Structure 1
Amino acid sequence: MSMFLHQPHLAADDLFSALRVLFPQTQPMRSTTTAGVEVVGVLVASDRVRDVWDEWRGKHGETGWWPYVSRMSPEALTSGGLLWEGVDAAVLENMVAEVVCQDHDARAASIVVSSFLGSTDPAYLAEGELEEWLDDYDPDRLAPRLSPAIAEPLPGTSRWVPEDPNTWYGRSQWWLHFVPARGGYEVPVMLPGLIRTGNGTHYLPSADDAALLRRWHEQWGAELYFASGSYLELVIDRPPLDPRSAAQAATELMGYCEDTVEDPRAAGDGMVRSTTWTLWWD
């Protein structure tokens, strides 16, 4: 038995049978990646998918399967080269071992610093430009520019899973996938290439995705809700409400996905303090 791969408490056959009973009109589907990771999925009505996701993430401790919403079926996900090629069982074991053993806070910090240094070389900035650059990238300098602390989180609205089938991404049903993982932060490692873009603007290895997602999970209760290609959405149970924490989250999000968080001040006063973080890469 693997030392590092997560072993779910509920067998895949039992999960599949339970979903067949609960969703008799939309029979579940199962598929397996080249590395042997089984993905079980079921179609859920758009107006119910958030509630069903909430219910099953609440059961994660007893099932060992993490649910997330997707636009595609398990079979479509695991075939056609959508996931990274060349990841067999041995490679996956090493990837998961790296994630389990890594200092995720230190790795997350390194990712953010590397991103900032890669965006602009401070050595080529004039003195005034350097100060403006630091105002955006240093949480201690950003925090005084944010709004005062608020008592309650801002309401978060999903951008990628709308209930209205007439909207751009709207549809009457969504796939709810189940993946054997310790938490949502581990899903990008179990399904390497799940978060990716065609033009390479998201270039991080899965272990980096996992490091940031786990840090945000522990700091602010961030949970993986939706993932499909260049689109990612997190549900935030304890969003940062005070300026210093919001500044920290805003700079980390900008380091991870500058395509979305171009203005850390706007993000720190808005999305960061809400219950939904929506990210996308151009």
Structure 2
Amino acid sequence: MQLTRRSALGFFGATAIAITTRAASARPFPPDLSQLSPKQRADYEAMHARMMAAFPYERLTVPGGDALAEWEKLSRSGRGWPVIVGGDDDLERIVDQFTMADPSVSGVVVPGLDARSPKDILAAAARLRFPADLQKWSGAYRPQDLRAPEGAWPAAVDVQPGPTLISDVISGKVHERVHIVLLPTASGWEAPAYLRWGGWNACPPPEYHVAALRRWHEASGAVLVGVNGDTMNLRATTRPRDRAAARALAREQYGYCPDIVDQGVSTISALAAELMASDWWHLWWD
């Protein structure tokens, strides 16, 4: 397991700093501070303030029910690419991942964490051709590991008619507050580079997300609408023309994001049917 997310607990001692790490979605964020001493809590709160201050992008907060309409307005504004990141905890996860390798936040240099600039990530993405080059990443599922059956074409399809990030994943209740970040790019497929998003568990590093989103934008008009700690919401302008094309796209998505089949719809045909029934693509990594 590749651990590349800080749990945001930095307990500052007289001569050392201890930082714990977590895998994606391993426990609630922010952490429970009730057991900390006053000094530990003050140290954590100071680090948290530095973390939020180090996130350089403009943020807007809107009622959850208004988030998609606000996103659509912002996408036409010419102010950059808007990304819905969800509620308060979701925003903190995004900021946490973006700043985890920044020693000005944590006070230490953690080897192996991704501190590349968006420019460097985009340069790496430009050298990739998705999906063929996905296997260049050491953490990618190998073809022999992708064992989901094709399955029968479902008689009915139940799809999510919009972004999932505006709602609580358990209750389905729309968040009272939803945050949207504005990134300094006109291309939504570049967003993972600006957020340093990915590189944990089976979730590819940022440049692979950029390469995938670029391909799907060119092929299907798909754009990134939202991303939180472990989920992407995309909206396509063109659906697959027939079942064969839908299955081919479903296999592409399965290789990139195995959890949506292995822990989700169970078969390639079930995912393909969703792609033919809806403009919304929901990708998530456990």
TM-score in terms of structure 1 length: 0.63
Partners in 1 of 2:145 and 2:169 — Cα distance?
38
Match of residue 159, structure 1, among 149, 154, 164: 164
Q: Does 2:132 correspond to 1:109?
A: yes
Q: State the secondary structure of the residue aligned to 1:219.
A: helix
Q: What letter matches 2:278 in structure 1?
A: S
Distance 1:156 1:72, change over 3 A: closer
Partners in 1 of 2:148 and 2:175 — Cα distance?
43
Distance 1:276 1:75, change over 3 A: closer
Distance 1:31 1:271, change over 3 A: farther
Match of residue 184, structure 2, among 171, 180, 184: 180
Q: How many residues align?
A: 213
Name the Cα RMSD after superposition.
3.4
Distance 1:272 1:43, change over 3 A: same
* CA-CA distance at 1:273 after TM superposition: 3.9
* CA-CA distance at 1:216 after TM superposition: 0.8
Q: State the secondary structure of the residue aligned to 1:160.
A: coil
2:220/2:236 contact within 8 Å kept = yes
Partners in 2 of 1:222 and 1:75 — Cα distance?
23
Distance 1:32 1:216, change over 3 A: same
Partners in 2 of 1:166 and 1:266 — Cα distance?
22
Q: State the secondary structure of the residue aligned to 1:158.
A: coil
Partners in 2 of 1:256 and 1:272 — Cα distance?
19
* CA-CA distance at 1:116 after TM superposition: 4.2
The corresponding residue for 1:96 is 122
Q: Which ranges of 4 or more aligned residues in structure 1 deviate by more than 6 Å?
A: none
Partners in 1 of 2:228 and 2:244 — Cα distance?
31
The corresponding residue for 1:56 is 74
Unaligned runs of 5+ in 1: 1-29, 121-132, 137-141, 148-153
* CA-CA distance at 1:196 after TM superposition: 6.1
Distance 1:201 1:98, change over 3 A: closer
The corresponding residue for 1:18 is none
The corresponding residue for 2:219 is 219
Partners in 2 of 1:230 and 1:75 — Cα distance?
12
* CA-CA distance at 1:274 after TM superposition: 1.1
* CA-CA distance at 1:50 after TM superposition: 0.6
Partners in 2 of 1:170 and 1:48 — Cα distance?
10
Relative to total residues, which structure has the larger helix share, 1 or 2?
A: 1
Q: Does 2:83 correspond to 1:68?
A: yes
